[in-house]
Structure 1
Amino acid sequence: MMDRGGFIKYQPIKIPRGTKYGNNYWIPRGNKIGKRTLDLYSDLEFEHWLTVETNPEVIGYCEQPLEISYLLNGRLRKSIFDMWILYRDHSETFVEVKYEKELTSTEPRYDRTKRQIEAQREWCRKNNIAYEVRTEKTIRKGRHSIENRIAITTAVLNSRKPVCTLEVLHSVSLHKKTISNVFCELPQYPEDQVNLALKWLYYEGQVCANIEDQIFGKSLEVYRNE
């Protein structure tokens, strides 16, 4: 993993699948990290990755980037952060992804989870790096967020920017208009190419849209990012 300075900051730590607490296993490729294949160990980790990969403010990231040690009931334990994220402003954040139920005191593994989070937060405090625990409440925000983000990541991973991208950008203004309106303004281009251009422009942060609550289709309103 390279940051903007060009040096390798973190490499993903390989974790045997049987030792990772979670359900389901995902191996997507990340466009922001040179189309490298990631190892993600739960549906929630995959969905969190989608929010990171489609965030225009993010320029790099690494899953399972760093292992730290901590004490629990007198025993030395180890913990690996779920993700490290690098932003355009060069700020960094370590992230732990948890289901809300794991953070409730009635959960059997609660004490271990609580201590793990405390240890990670303290390590980040000492190293002056931001730390966040992210759950499905924020990751799954909006009924169409995940579906749309899958469509966007798939589009930019597998397709180059179409030749009409600049003209599509010029068609989008600071005032909201539907994708259908954009199609009408650019009849010389196939709708699928205009739609692909809009996905690229959203991915790059040049165009905004409410992809949490609306399907990325003709009725979606788009507008320029000021």
Structure 2
Amino acid sequence: MQVFLSYREDEEGKEYASALREELAILGINAIMASRSIRPGAVWAQTILGHLEASSALLCIASRGYTDSAWCQQEIGWAIGRGIPALWVCYDSKERSVGFLMDKQDLTVPDPSSQADTARAIGTWLATQEKTREEARATFIHALAGSSTYRQTRDIVHVLATLDSLTDDEWQQIDKAAETNRQVREAHSYSERNNRMSGMPVTDWLRRQLNKSADNTWPPR
């Protein structure tokens, strides 16, 4: 799944966008930073347009001065005009959502130095938008199957836990991921409040969070 990061081309904007890009990659989301993908000699406008057309959603990295950027305003206008979901990710309280985004709930970033929570919140948003929900869910489960760390597994499961439910097919894919990938099978739930691991496998925790029947508790014994 690809999303487009709209950000101000200054040090702060690039820093926030780059950090968020890395966290979104953990969830299997390819977040495009146009300036990093434009080759020498390429036409800026055409390259950006190509990335926008290939993206399923637009994320507005609203750092200081974002609304003053003509490029950012054009990127928002393009997304709104094409009916692509757009989310205002607020890094600066003075940067208010504009235009057709004003009636949408912003995502406020409480701590710009820690982007993991922001990435997971964006994952939940993508999984609940009508135009992106199916692709997002498939992306997360695919990323779970290929998880390379316990942290990645926990982050993906955290997002899946915010959904209303999972289909039987999705549960089968999760079961298979746990069966074939030790990073999924051996990952345990983590309590941020107590700053320690619990004894419950994250997939068990996921079933509990989604109120699955005790008769279907994973993994099968």
| Larger Rg, first or second structure (1 or 2) | 1
State the TM-score, normalized to the length of structure 2. 0.32
Q: More helix per residue: 1 or 2?
A: 2
Q: More strand per residue: 1 or 2?
A: 1
State the TM-score, normalized to the length of structure 1. 0.32
